[in-house]
Structure 1
Amino acid sequence: MRGIVLPEREERSFWIDGDRLRTEPVPGAELVVDGGWLLPGLVDVHTHPGTESREGPFSEQLLRRHLTDHRDAGVLLVRTPGTASRIPDWVDQDPELPRVRSAGRWLATPGRFFPGFGRDVTEADLVQAAVEEVKASSGWCKVIGDWKHDQPALPLETLTAVVQAVHAIGGRVAAHCQTSEGSRNAVLAGVDSLEHGMHLDPELIDRMAAQGTAFVPTLSVLGAGADRRRASAPGPGRDWWLAGWEGMLPNVRAAHEAGVTVLAGTDSLPCGTVGSEVDWLVRAGLSAEAALGAASWSARSWLGLPGLVDGGLADLVAYDTDPTLDAAALGHPSRIILRGRVVA
């Protein structure tokens, strides 16, 4: 393969040796990409494959289809921050599917999630449950930090205890938050990623940057619901939601400018639409390159994977035109290579 590598914007050549990239020639290699733009495989850091409704059960058939949809769009790594069932072992063993970093089942305390959709636990049992999900997943757990606007968030001391216990075993904590109290508690507790972050107090952004709390705003799914909310009947819930949405884009821009790691996650169906989140991040004020990085090299680095380097994973996407200049290019990769194999 040869082309211009992003984000370095340098022309390079790579050879594939098994599932690894090499910068030295491999005997008998066949040229599969000649020119264009090369990116580390795209990443969706907030997606829930395997279910399509709260009424339908987790389905391994759906899981395979959703992951295939991601792959066909060039999304070669996903993080699943909460699912209705733990991701089965066969997913990581299937060379046709994206790499998955899972957080086990959603962890929900009474009144803070759809009943029975995740793992329902008491506040007293939450710390132990979080440790169990971390050990049974890819080193992550997902805690529902708040729920409805007129209900209290998970107490700060409880969430802090979760973070301390999970960090003690080398794990990481993602927190669903959409109220001011919930977002505040998540930041003060030191979670590793703030999911959604509606009503986030801008005064907390510098603390997020200092302690390394990433921001996954899921703008595409929230933005898609904004018009529906505006058209709904007036009331406290509607007003609260719209007020939170109005602050999202300014907070994303401020977070990025403060040095917070802002990442692209869709939280929506169909799978394979992370390009829409990149578009929203640009609308929020990120440069086209930073927004693309949030769905590629920056996200991979945050999840502990290298970019396009010697010895790195042979997971990459090629485009005929520069995707930082041509917004439509993300939807039309010219070549997709996963685990060293050409899949499209």
Structure 2
Amino acid sequence: MLCIRGVVLPEREERSFWIDGEVLRAGAPPGGFAGRDAEVAVDGGWLLPGLVDVHTHPGATDPGTSFDEDLLRAQLGEHRDAGVLAVRAPGTAARMPAWVDSDPELPRVTSAGRWLATPGRFPGFGRDVAEDGLVRAALEEAAASSGWCKVIGDWRADEPALPLTLLTEVVGAVHAAGGKVAVHCQTAEGTRNAVLAGADSLEHGMHLDPALLDRMAAQGTAFVPTLGVFGAKADAMRAREPGVRRDLWLAGWDTMFGNVRAAHEAGVTVLAGTDSFPCGTVAGEASWLMRAGLSAEAALGAASWTARAWLGLPGLGDGAPADLVAYATDPIADPAVLGHPGRIILRGRVVR
């Protein structure tokens, strides 16, 4: 049987475990670590629950391409090989196939069905639906996925966002059914509407009004800023000729570091999501969160234990899933090692 011992983060406690099928058991295994059946998979170092990417879209290379199950498997494998053992896919071009939940070699997937877009927003990339059918569509996607649905709350920077009254109705109906709602928002109006409607997560949240942060914290609305994907575009956007869309985009980007830091300080759950390819790069998003002003511990939590708790997944303890990554050095003291774990264990099996 596989045995593990090391310093568990974030608690910073030395602990020992053994693996019983796909589950962790606390303490020494029957017969001890030197027993005939014991195989020590990790002996010392630093232990984290598996890393998490809460905004990734495996199965396609961009929203305009067809959903491909072979690509889905390959991209989930990229996540796993980087130590990302749980992902949330907030909207895709197609619903996740049933085999995703049962494949022992792939990360645990929380899906949100197809993107839901009303006319003029995100055309042709997900499920296009008229405004009077949005509530029903949101309930259908939440029921067909992991309980989440994803609504495109706005699209073009200079065009109106989804009406607040409609988004509020969507969120209320999905919550009443036991589900959750993620909202894509990049404009001031779209972000404001998502918060006032009571969305469970803001995806991107450009132009977020800091006056809304206390409300977000109180109602449990998480902030997934996907800083890396925006940061990678910033220089190219600055090089463009001035225009309404370019100028609004840059105005939003220029406030994001301050808003992310202020959100964390206000008690909002800030999470790491990449929204980019290749997959398996959530450690880079944690670095962007640190650049925005989060401590190394908070940024690593956003890509591990905090994100897992938010998704309803436990950390490292007796009876928890045997999903973990191990490092020779403390990744809080040296965040550069986060994307390079020395040992990866998923569902009780050694991946690397």
* TM-score after normalising by structure 2: 0.96
The Cα of 1:55 is off from its aligned counterpart by: 4.0
> Matched residues in 2 for 1:56 and 1:181: separation?
29
Please say if residues 17 and 26 of structure 1, whose CA atoms lie closer than 8 Å, have aligned partners that are also in contact: no
Residue of structure 2 in register with 1:14 after alignment: 17
Q: Do structure 1's residue 30 and structure 2's residue 36 form an aligned pair?
A: no
After the TM superposition, which residues 324-335 of structure 1 pair with which residues of structure 2 at under 5 Å, given as runs? 324-335=332-343
Whichever residue aligns with residue 98 of structure 2, its letter is: D
Residue of structure 2 in register with 1:260 after alignment: 268
The Cα of 1:149 is off from its aligned counterpart by: 1.3
Farther-moved stretch of structure 1 (47-56 vs 160-169): 47-56
The Cα of 1:325 is off from its aligned counterpart by: 1.4
- Secondary structure of the residue aligned to 1:31 is strand
Farther-moved stretch of structure 1 (199-208 vs 22-31): 22-31
> Matched residues in 2 for 1:248 and 1:54: separation?
24
After the TM superposition, which residues 23-172 of structure 1 pair with which residues of structure 2 at under 5 Å, given as runs? 23-27=26-30, 28-113=37-122, 115-172=123-180
Please say if residues 19 and 348 of structure 2, whose CA atoms lie closer than 8 Å, have aligned partners that are also in contact: yes
> Matched residues in 2 for 1:83 and 1:306: separation?
26
* TM-score after normalising by structure 1: 0.99
Q: Give the alignment partner of residue 236 of structure 1, picking from 234, 244, 250.
A: 244
The Cα of 1:233 is off from its aligned counterpart by: 1.5
> Matched residues in 2 for 1:293 and 1:86: separation?
28
Whichever residue aligns with residue 189 of structure 2, its letter is: E
Q: Give the alignment partner of residue 217 of structure 1, picking from 190, 215, 225.
A: 225
- Unpaired stretches in structure 1, ≥5 consecutive residues: none
- Secondary structure of the residue aligned to 1:314 is coil
- Secondary structure of the residue aligned to 1:57 is coil
> Matched residues in 1 for 2:247 and 2:86: separation?
36
Whichever residue aligns with residue 207 of structure 1, its letter is: R
Q: Do structure 1's residue 206 and structure 2's residue 214 form an aligned pair?
A: yes
After the TM superposition, which residues 315-330 of structure 1 pair with which residues of structure 2 at under 5 Å, given as runs? 315-330=323-338
The Cα of 1:282 is off from its aligned counterpart by: 0.5
> Matched residues in 2 for 1:332 and 1:140: separation?
30
> Matched residues in 2 for 1:306 and 1:30: separation?
24
Cα deviations by residue, 1:34-56 (Å, 9 ceiling, x for unpaired): 01100000000000000013442
Cα deviations by residue, 1:216-236 (Å, 9 ceiling, x for unpaired): 000000111101100112111
After the TM superposition, which residues 259-278 of structure 1 pair with which residues of structure 2 at under 5 Å, given as runs? 259-278=267-286
Q: Do structure 1's residue 343 and structure 2's residue 346 form an aligned pair?
A: no
> Matched residues in 1 for 2:158 and 2:101: separation?
41
> Matched residues in 2 for 1:117 and 1:152: separation?
19
> Matched residues in 1 for 2:332 and 2:144: separation?
38
Moved over 4 A (4+): none
Tell me the percent identity: 75
> Matched residues in 2 for 1:184 and 1:54: separation?
25
Residue of structure 1 in register with 2:318 after alignment: 310
> Matched residues in 2 for 1:130 and 1:235: separation?
34
- Secondary structure of the residue aligned to 2:196 is helix
- Unpaired stretches in structure 2, ≥5 consecutive residues: 31-36
- Secondary structure of the residue aligned to 2:245 is helix
The Cα of 1:117 is off from its aligned counterpart by: 1.2
> Matched residues in 2 for 1:228 and 1:17: separation?
51
Number of aligned residue pairs: give it: 343
> Matched residues in 2 for 1:287 and 1:214: separation?
18
Farther-moved stretch of structure 1 (50-59 vs 35-44): 50-59
Cα deviations by residue, 1:242-299 (Å, 9 ceiling, x for unpaired): 0000010000000000000000000000100001110010011110000000000000
- Secondary structure of the residue aligned to 2:76 is helix
Whichever residue aligns with residue 132 of structure 2, its letter is: A
Residue of structure 1 in register with 2:33 after alignment: none
Whichever residue aligns with residue 45 of structure 2, its letter is: G
